[in-house]
Structures are given as C-alpha cells and as structure tokens.
Chain A
Amino acid sequence: MRIGVVTFPGSLDDRDALRAAELAGAEGVALWHAEDDLHGVDAVVLPGGFSYGDYLRCGAVAFHAPVMDAVKRFAADGGPVLGICNGFQILCEAGLLPGALLRNQGLRFTCRPVELEVANTSTPWTAGYAPGQRIRIPVKNGDGRYYADTVTLDRLEDQGRVVLRYRDNPNGSERDIAGVCNEGGNVVGVMPHPEHAVDPLLRRGTDGLAIFASLRAGAQPLQRSR
C-alpha cells in the first residue's frame, strides 16, 4: 500500500502524514503540488496547513494547483482521497465534498484534543474502527466550522455520509459534523488531525492510526482503469 501525501506551498502536516502512513505499515510517497502526477499511489492525503497562505479563502488557491487535476481524476475513478483540515477545505473548494469550512464561531484558533464518534465505518479510511467508536484526536484550526445548507445536511445524514462527529462541538459546526464523505465514500474530509495521534510516545494517544491502517486492513482500493 502506497499512500501519497501532497505538499502545497504552506502545507504544515505533510511530514506527519507521511510518518503516520509509515507507522500504519504503508509506504509514504511525497507528492508535489506543481506536478499533475500521482506516481501510481494507492491513496492520496491532502494534509493540513495553510496552502498558499489561505489567501482569498482557505483552500481556494490550492484547488487550482496542477496536482488537483490528477486528484480529481483519481477520486472520480474511486481512488481513496483523504483531506485533513486544510485538505478538507481544499476538497470542499474543489467541489469533491459538499459544504464549506467557516471561521470558528468563537473566532479563536482552537488547538486541543477532541472526543469524536466514528459515524461511518464503511469508507476506506474508517473501516478499521468499530461503528460508533469514540476516539480522541486533536483539532488545530481557525476555520473549522462546517457549514452546508439544510437540504445538503439532511441528505448527508440520510445517506450516512457524516464520517466523524464531535462529542463536544469546538467551533459551531452544523450538526456537530467533524468529517464527511462523498457519495462513493472514497473521498473523505476531516477537520481533526489523525496524523497527530499515531505515536505511543506522545500523550495524544494513537487513536488516529486506524485512519491510515484502514486502507490496508479493510477496503482494498477499488480497481481503477489506469
């Protein structure tokens, strides 16, 4: 299993995501924003950070990067794509996931562990968790308030596309949503940082590791034409 991690100018957590992939037993492959090439990886992670300075809107400029054309094709073919934090914002800006991430309700940058419930374990990124499992991983953002209109929110709930839910909503996200997936389930966006909770040496615990290990354990990547 080769997990590619895209580095944009301003990405912060690309190294952590690569390391998390390795700790989960996969090979981490560094991908570059300016290349329209995913080097044959089995899965793609868009990491956290402040791509292109988050100018205009978070993720708005990154969505026009050359690598995103390749990511869109990969996602359309059923390839597993995970956006973490800024990566989630990029996926929303790109229209690969519904909704948008807004300024936190309290206007504060929030950096602390949060309790989450895994609400969907049928995605390739969450298959390693038990349904309804409670996990604890950090959030680290200023623009983490998930928003979509009521019709979209109802559809997400009806289709079981809420992937992670806050137990104690830190930012005013609609319906406590911390992560969602696309209709196919292969594209997942999460605001908290699983890659920061993978090493037993750190107090944060290892609840995030299953995100990266799920790819190996459960759902094999879908067969793709290319």
Chain B
Amino acid sequence: MPRVAIDVLLKHEILDPQGRAVERALPGLGYADVTDVRVGKHLELDIDAEGEELSARVEKMCADFLTNPVIEAYRWRVITADERADA
C-alpha cells in the first residue's frame, strides 16, 4: 500500500513564533549561521489508492481536515519504506 508523507507549515506571510524562538536559541548553541526557521508538522499515512485517485484523495483530505488552508501550506509525496521519517 502506498505511503504518503505530508509536510505542513504556516504560510510564509504568517508569523511563526515557535520558529522564531528556535531561531533565537540557535546562536547560543553555536549555530549563528541559521536564519528563517519555520516549525511545522510532518504526517505519514498508508492509503489504499493509486495514481490519480490517490492524488485526489490526498488533496481532499488535506483540504478538508489535515490542514487549514486559511493559515497553512503543505506539500505531499509518496515515499518508500526507507524514506519514513521514523525509519
């Protein structure tokens, strides 16, 4: 069954206080060369569908429930077993 990974971030124009807090903490840890930190969500799921049907179902799921289009942007892709973030 295909596995889908979805990455969700607040839209770029929206203040992400969590990202900013991380960004401000990094220089103190020796990482002064980091800018524009954004903190979001990574979802993974198995879905029993293929091809265009898979695309349509993932897009609808994201629009209806998994993301809020008012505040969030997302990207998704089908991943292999060794691309799991928890592998």
Q: Which residues of B contact A99 (CB under 8 A)?
A: 70
In the docked arrangement, what's the CA distance between A25 and B65, Å? 38
- The answer for the CA separation of A104 and B70 in the assembled complex, in Å, is 17
A64 contacts B65, CB within 8 Å?
A: yes
Q: Is B78 an interface residue (CB 8 A)?
A: no
A107 touches B71 (CB 8 A): no
**Complex interface: chain B residues within 8 A of A103 (CB):** 17-18
What's the count of A-B pairs with C-beta under 8 Å?
33
A74-106 to B contact mask, C-beta < 8 Å, 1/0: 000000000000000000110000111011111
Q: Are A102 and B66 closer than 8 Å at their CB atoms?
A: no
Say yes or no: is B35 at the interface (Cβ < 8 Å to chain A).
no
B15 within 8 A of A: yes
**CB nearest neighbor in A for B69:** A100
Residues A100 and B18 in contact in the complex (CB < 8 Å), given A56-B66, A60-B65, A64-B65: no
* Interface residue B1 (Cβ < 8 Å from any Cβ of A): no
Neighbouring A residues of B18 by C-beta, 8 Å: 103, 107
Size category of the binding interface on chain A? 10 to 19
Report the minimal beta-carbon distance from B22 to chain A, rounded to whole angstroms. 11
Asked if B21 is at the interface of the complex by the 8 Å CB criterion, the answer is yes
CA distance A209 to B66 in the complex (A): 37
Closest to A172 in B: B15
Q: Are A100 and B17 in contact, CB atoms less than 8 angstroms apart?
A: no
Tell yes or no: A52 within 8 A of B by CB. Answer: no
The 0/1 profile, CB within 8 Å of A marked 1, for residues 60-80 of chain B is: 000001101011000000000
Query: A residues within 8 A CB of B10?
Result: 102
For B68, give its contact among A60, A98, A107 (CB under 8 Å): A60
What residue in chain A is nearest B39 (Cβ atoms)? A103
Tell me whether A70 is interfacial, beta carbon within 8 Å. no
> Which A residues are within 8 Å of any B CB, using their own CB?
56-57, 60, 64, 92-93, 98-100, 102-107, 147-149, 172
Given A107-B17, A107-B18, A147-B14, 13 extra CB contacts under 8 A: A60-B68, A64-B65, A92-B70, A93-B68, A99-B70, A102-B10, A102-B14, A102-B15, A103-B18, A105-B15, A107-B21, A147-B71, A149-B70
What are 23 A-B pairs at a CB distance below 8 A? A56-B65, A56-B66, A57-B68, A60-B68, A64-B65, A92-B70, A93-B68, A98-B70, A99-B70, A100-B68, A100-B71, A102-B14, A103-B17, A103-B18, A104-B17, A105-B15, A105-B17, A107-B18, A107-B21, A147-B70, A148-B70, A149-B70, A172-B17
